Amino acid sequence: MRKIDLSNFQVATSETARDINRRIVLNLIRSHQPVSRADLARHSGLQRSTVSLITEQLIEERWVTEGANGRVPRGRRPRLLHLNQERVGIIGINVRPIKTAIALADLDARFVAQESLPTAKDPKQFIADVAPRLRNLFKLHPEISYEGIGVSLPGRIDAATQRLVFAPNLGWGEVDLKTPLEAATGLPVELENAANACALAEVWFARRTETVHNLVAVTVSEGIGVGVIVNGQLIRGTTGAAGEFGHITLVEDGLVCACGNRGCWEMYASNSAPVRYYTQAATRGRNRPDSRTQASGPSFDDLLRLAEQGDRKANEAFDQMAHYLGAGIAMLVVGLAPDVVVVVGEVTRLWKRIGPAIKQVVESRVFSHASTRIVPTDPSAQPRLRGTIALILQKHFGAPAVA
């Protein structure tokens, strides 16, 4: 139960009750569609007349449409309701150090259009690259009304200023992306850390997490990000920077990280780590330390392919990465006791091998008999991009802030 915040509260009005019921009905339609008004009344416990009033309003606002007739044993066949897929378009932008993806999605986070571009080294250039592509997208789909733009970033967003802060892998300084993107498109823009976006994607779109209230998403890519959902809510901390477990020291006096600290978790378990392990082993094998070998080492994608083809050295490099992933996840399991830890990233393609290795490390370090499940996400489902859709969706479908 949340304590009532006497410095920032909102008393309930009759409008509050209407808003809550409206959002409940909208969510019930989303999860049970196609659904009849009678079933909505049954699921919600609301009066039939109240349900009718709310659904009329939702139809008028074009959030919901009436589709085919349902089947009943006798009497008038009810008209079934579902979300209006044609009404709403949400733009998602997933920024990664090398490549940025742009997508147009409907209310069910189905991607209608998608494209990508190289990520500019300079944030001003990034806006100049992205804005005309967005305007072009609007031109190509004039029938859609756009609700907003969600942006996922490999960094943290300052909660008060909405500026991007602390993005060591992107190399951008503290920057305001919201204002220029809103000015260029006329749409509201929501920014979020990539790991938080992935956690939201799980909460909003994954079937298995329908009843999960405590969830941790670990994104493994150029760095390691962690998004934490406790009691159904994202943990942000005072500055919005909560969740930076990737920069907790795991190896005392370890390797220097881009954040300036030494021995950070992400130095040992992000995508650059297995490349380093592989190159080091190759150099050791030849028994002559050669910096040129390091420079001409495989890329992460090459190494992933080698491992999938059964290359022993490549698999050993991923075993080492899995060990450190397990060490960090053990810390999350002990500290947060979540229902589920979802692992996001291309490395999950090797889950058959790394999954058991991760779980073994976690089991050896967790003292209580934890019931936390550790599961991979499907990279083809593009969780980072789906998370950006959830950013906008939750404004209409999320629980309202009261008291």
Residue range at the interface with Zn ion (CB under 5 A); choices 180-188, 199-207, 251-259, 356-364:
251-259
Of 33 and 261, which has the nearer Cβ to Zn ion?
261
Instruction: Quote the least distance from Cβ 35 to Zn ion, whole Å.
Output: 48
User: Does residue 53 touch Zn ion according to CB under 5 A?
Assistant: no
Of 35 and 267, which has the nearer Cβ to Zn ion?
267
Residue range at the interface with Zn ion (CB under 5 A); choices 36-44, 146-154, 257-265, 274-282:
257-265
Of 184 and 258, which has the nearer Cβ to Zn ion?
258
Instruction: Quote the least distance from Cβ 377 to Zn ion, whole Å.
Output: 24
Of 246 and 345, which has the nearer Cβ to Zn ion?
246
Of 247 and 386, which has the nearer Cβ to Zn ion?
247
- What are the structure tokens assigned to 356, written together? 């058991």
- Answer whether 203's CB lies under 8 Å from 212's CB: yes
Peptide bond into 34 cis (omega under 30): yes
Quick one: 215 exposed, middle or buried, by C-beta within 10 A (0-12, 13-18, 19+)? Answer: buried
Of 245 and 318, which has the nearer Cβ to Zn ion?
245
Instruction: Quote the least distance from Cβ 259 to Zn ion, whole Å.
Output: 3
In this structure, what are the phi and psi dihedrals at residue 126, rounded to the nearest 5 degrees? -60, -50
What is the rounded distance in angstroms from the CA atom of residue 163 to the CA atom of residue 184?
Answer: 17
Residues in 288-347 at the binding interface with Zn ion, rule: CB under 5 A? none
Instruction: Quote the least distance from Cβ 155 to Zn ion, whole Å.
Output: 12
User: Does residue 247 touch Zn ion according to CB under 5 A?
Assistant: yes
Of 130 and 267, which has the nearer Cβ to Zn ion?
267
Of 144 and 267, which has the nearer Cβ to Zn ion?
267
Position among 59, 241, 259, 375 found at the interface with Zn ion (CB under 5 A)? 259
CB atoms within 10 A of CB 164: 25
Residue range at the interface with Zn ion (CB under 5 A); choices 229-237, 246-254, 291-299, 309-317:
246-254
Instruction: Quote the least distance from Cβ 257 to Zn ion, whole Å.
Output: 3
Residues in 262-281 at the binding interface with Zn ion, rule: CB under 5 A? 264
Instruction: Quote the least distance from Cβ 243 to Zn ion, whole Å.
Output: 13
Instruction: Quote the least distance from Cβ 234 to Zn ion, whole Å.
Output: 22
Size of the residue set binding Zn ion (CB under 5 A): 5
Of 200 and 257, which has the nearer Cβ to Zn ion?
257
Position among 95, 216, 257, 336 found at the interface with Zn ion (CB under 5 A)? 257
Residues in the chain: 403
Instruction: Quote the least distance from Cβ 168 to Zn ion, whole Å.
Output: 7
Residues in 193-222 at the binding interface with Zn ion, rule: CB under 5 A? none
Instruction: Quote the least distance from Cβ 272 to Zn ion, whole Å.
Output: 12
Position among 33, 162, 249, 261 found at the interface with Zn ion (CB under 5 A)? 261
Instruction: Quote the least distance from Cβ 280 to Zn ion, whole Å.
Output: 20
Of 104 and 250, which has the nearer Cβ to Zn ion?
250
- What are the structure tokens assigned to 78, written together? 């009810």
Residue range at the interface with Zn ion (CB under 5 A); choices 49-57, 122-130, 258-266, 362-370:
258-266
Provide the binding-site residues for Zn ion, judged by CB under 5 A: 247, 257, 259, 261, 264
